[in-house]
Amino acid sequence: MSLFKKVLFPVTLSLDLEQILDNALFLKRLNIQSFDLINVVSSGFGNKDDSLEALHQAVGIIRQKIPYNVSAEVVEGHAASEIVNMARGQDYNLIFIPGHDKNIMN
């Protein structure tokens, strides 16, 4: 059983699909059964529809490769504020922010 039941995974669209999938596998190894991807676009500068389409593509691939309960959401605003607001408002146990370098788990 996992200590964390509900995990929020903020992503930028600069992460490629392979990186997102690798991180999903990492979460699976931690016995986390579900997580939500969130992408925050700057108000007036980002295209929410394009971001949501890219995240839905990622969700579909994750579900094909790993039996996972995963969803995606795109919000507008200041990234840190929106991530924290979502985590607090929906009772997430963990905000998962992966490092970009290798670590002891890789």
pLDDT digits (tens, 9 = 90+) for 21-64: 899 999 888 888 789 999 999 887 778 888 899 899 989 989 99
35 close to 104: Cβ distance less than 8 angstroms: no
Between the alpha carbon of residue 11 and those of residues 1, 2, 3, 39, the distances in Å are 26, 22, 22, 5
CA distance 66 to 35: 12
Mean pLDDT of the chain: 86
pLDDT digits (tens, 9 = 90+) for 3-24: 788 899 999 887 788 888 899 9
> What own/partner pairs with CB < 8 Å and gap ≥ 24 does 58-67 have?
58/11, 58/17, 58/20, 58/21, 61/17, 61/21, 62/20, 62/21, 62/24, 65/21, 65/24, 66/21, 66/24, 66/25, 66/28
Q: What is the pTM of this model?
A: 0.84
